[in-house]
């Protein structure tokens, strides 16, 4: 079994006691952490990573991403700018995902994974759509995750907007494939776009597969008010009630956004143990409103943090989450601890339901996912003070080394598992093709 020692590290363990080791060591054996302390016993022949006093933290987790959106960077759809969320979908995203071919799926994924490694993000829960190449698209993405060395929970965005029940077969096949593989690096949920593009027949088919496989769904809910008004007009109920009627709530399901949920819906999410994810930067960009983040947390909802394809930089997402709540509520006392907890703890709890291996703490037995930041504190970094360094220090710092599943993916900001220069060159070509087909 391969051993690796991280030494001379300022170790932020994020363990239950909040332990910070000013000069600590971490021993990795295989894909797991074997020991953490001021000094650990090192096996002969262990690979050595000298942190040189830098801050070492658990690898970050993105609880909701769209890797394919990396090909939207620099692109502006023709015509008048979209005036609302529905127009944003119709004029931008539904045309962009329709223009993806297998090569574009592969290289848009590679690009986002490169960015994740550069920002110390080692686990991603992704939501994919490519209606022109649905079948096999998740296999392509799985290959990119395995080549990069990251962990991923993948799904395909089932929708009736192009072809009825598009994505049901792909989700079903891939869920069964990953369950049979059982290695834990790549897992699956059943992806759904949003209720406004899903018929009762498609939800019934989804429910049958979820019952058979015991998988949860990964779906956008009430991102915009139009989703709620559509549900009420067509089905005579609000979104969470409609999904609950089909048995799609529950501890395995991941509901995204929830900005326009009413009290009864938030209560039902809490009662069923359904997970949720907040994506503040995307919500601000789409001008859809501010999630009632603090209310959901008070109700006991397991609420994590994602980027919704806007970026792969998770610390920035936490920083925006806390600032947005303060600005919206006009209260400078709120959301700092909560936003950090969503990133550091709630995302790990979500992963515990989506993956077989524990992660999120630098403690023995957990997955060896580690980020070493090129950050040597100029003010005390000790128990009780880490969150300030996280949002106002590490947020701006370069990641020096990223380790995932015990493998060094990047050292001195040079990615070792992928040919970054070649990928970026191919990505530019593939993106240009997508833009021409748009």
> What string of DSSP letters covers 362-397?
-STTSB--EEEES---SS---TT-HHHHHHHTGGGS
| 95-154 residue pLDDT tens | 999 999 999 999 999 999 999 999 999 999 999 999 999 999 999 999 999 999 999 999
Q: Is 333 exposed, middle or buried (0-12, 13-18, 19+ CB in 10 A)?
A: exposed
Asked if the model's pLDDT at residue 302 lies above 90, the reply is: yes
**Starting from the edge strand earliest in sequence, which strands make up the sheet with 151-154, in order?**
60-65, 121-126, 151-154, 186-188
* In contact, 257 and 268? CB cutoff 8 Å: no
Report the percentage of the chain scoring pLDDT > 70: 100
For the chain, which residues make up each domain, given as ranges? 3-59+358-415, 60-354
**60-354: what fold?**
TIM Barrel (3.20.20)
pLDDT at 197: 98
Q: Which two tokens stand for residue 318?
A: 């936490």
Cα distance between residue 107 and residue 214, in whole Å: 31
Asked if 96 contacts 438 with a C-beta cutoff of 8 angstroms, the reply is yes
Angle between helices 102-118 and 137-148 (to 10 degrees): 30
For residue 32, the model assigns a pLDDT of 98
Assigned architecture for domain 3-59+358-415: Roll (2.30)
Residue 80, Cβ neighbours under 10 Å: how many?
8
Say whether pTM exceeds 0.95.
Answer: yes
pLDDT tens for each residue of 217-267 = 999 999 999 999 999 999 999 999 999 999 999 999 999 999 999 999 999
Q: On the CB side of 48, how many CA atoms lie within 13 Å of its CA?
A: 10
Tell me which H or E stretch contains 36: strand 32-37
| pLDDT over 90 at 1, yes or no | no
Residue 145 CA to residue 276 CA, distance in Å, equals: 24
Tell which residue, 419, 434, 435, has the closest CA to residue 111: 419
Is 60-354 in the same CATH topology as 3-59+358-415? no
């Amino acid at each position: 079994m391969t051993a690796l020692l991280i030494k001379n590290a300022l170790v932020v363990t994020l363990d239950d006691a909040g332990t910070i080791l000013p000069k600590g060591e971490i021993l990795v054996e295989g894909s797991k952490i074997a020991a953490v302390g001021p000094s650990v016993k090192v096996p002969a022949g262990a690979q050595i990573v000298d942190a040189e006093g830098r801050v070492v933290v658990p690898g970050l987790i993105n609880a909701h991403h769209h890797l394919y959106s990396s090909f939207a960077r620099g692109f502006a759809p023709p015509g008048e700018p979209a005036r609302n969320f529905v127009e944003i979908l119709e004029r931008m995203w539904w045309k962009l995902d329709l223009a993806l071919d297998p090569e574009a799926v592969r290289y848009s994924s590679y690009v986002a994974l490169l960015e994740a490694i550069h920002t110390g993000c080692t686990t991603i829960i992704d939501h994919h759509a490519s209606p022109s190449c649905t079948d096999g698209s998740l296999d392509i993405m799985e290959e990119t995750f395995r080549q990069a060395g990251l962990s991923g929970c993948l799904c395909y965005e089932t929708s009736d907007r192009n072809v009825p029940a598009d994505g049901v077969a792909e989700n079903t096949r891939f869920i069964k494939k990953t369950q049979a593989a059982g290695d834990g690096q790549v897992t699956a949920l059943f992806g759904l776009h949003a209720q406004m593009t899903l018929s009762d027949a498609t939800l019934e088919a989804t429910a049958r597969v979820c019952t058979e496989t015991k998988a949860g769904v990964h779906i956008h809910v009430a991102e915009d008010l139009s989703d709620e008004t559509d549900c009420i007009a067509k089905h005579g109920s609000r979104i969470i009630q409609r999904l609950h009627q089909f048995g799609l709530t529950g501890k395995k399901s991941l509901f995204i956004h929830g900005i326009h949920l009413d009290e009864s819906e938030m209560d039902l999410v809490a009662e069923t143990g359904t997970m949720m994810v907040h994506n503040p930067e995307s919500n601000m960009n789409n001008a859809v409103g501010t999630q009632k983040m603090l209310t959901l947390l008070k109700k006991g909802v397991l609420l994590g943090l994602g980027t919704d394809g806007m970026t792969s930089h998770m610390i920035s997402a936490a920083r925006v989450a806390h600032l947005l709540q303060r600005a919206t509520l006009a209260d400078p006392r709120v959301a700092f601890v909560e936003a950090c907890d969503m990133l550091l703890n709630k995302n790990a709890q979500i992963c515990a339901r989506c993956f077989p291996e524990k992660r999120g703490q630098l403690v023995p037995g957990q997955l060896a996912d580690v980020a070493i930041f090129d950050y040597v504190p100029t003010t005390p970094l000790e128990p009780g003070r880490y969150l300030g360094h996280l949002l106002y220090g590490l947020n701006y710092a370069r990641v020096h080394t990223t380790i995932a599943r015990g493998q060094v993916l990047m050292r001195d900001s040079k990615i070792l598992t992928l040919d970054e220069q070649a990928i970026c060159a191919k990505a530019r070509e593939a993106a240009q093709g997508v833009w021409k087909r748009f």
